[in-house]
Amino acid sequence: MKILMFYSPSFWFRTFEKVLDNVADQEADKTEVNAIVIFYHIEAEDVERKSKILTKFIKNIKWIAGKFKTSRLVLHSFNHLSTSKAPPDFSAALMSEARERLVRSGFEITETPFGYLNEWKMHVAGDSLAKVFKDL
């Protein structure tokens, strides 16, 4: 799993185009403020490392959210961080479990629609830790 995490004083997204036939039809247009925006890419090899990946993913999010004293998160599937891709069903299930754990930890979560291309605008803070890449 690869993740790009940004501290964003302002993040806006809108659904653009559905790219997976088996996901529900939906339209979204939303703005979040003072959030950690996480672009994630789940790789094929993560299927065999699910528990380890999930734990690392959550620890990294809690760490950066703590640095910026925010409980707001935006999760965005971004399948451009690797050529290796996990099956969509596995990715959706993994992120569902991650969301449940994060909500139980007190996080407010917005998720861009899975299986859609989205357009977005993001203001990223200038701090060094406002932009973090992790290869889990």
- DSSP three-state, residue 25: coil
Q: Give me the pLDDT at residue 69, please.
A: 97
Map out the domains of the chain as residue ranges: 2-135
The pLDDT, as a whole number, for residue 126 is 93
pLDDT on residue 123? 97
Predicted pLDDT at 100: 97
The mean per-residue pLDDT over the stretch 7-24 comes to 93
C-alpha span between 123 and 119 (Å, rounded):
14
The SS3 call for residue 11 is: strand
| pLDDT beyond 90 at 21 | no
Residue 89's pLDDT band (cuts 50, 70, 90): confident
Topology of the domain covering 2-135? D-tyrosyl-trna(Tyr) Deacylase; Chain: A; (3.50.80)
In this prediction, residue 133 carries a pLDDT of 94
Residue 92, pLDDT > 90, answer no
Rg (CA), the chain: 14
Phi, psi angles (nearest 5°) of residue 16: -120, -50
DSSP 74-128: EEEE-TTS-S----HHHHHHHHHHHHHHHHHTT-EEEEPPTTEEEEEEEE--SSG
Query: Quick one: average pLDDT of 56-63?
Result: 97
Q: What is the overall mean pLDDT for the chain?
A: 94
How would residue 103 be classed by pLDDT, with cut points 50, 70 and 90?
very high
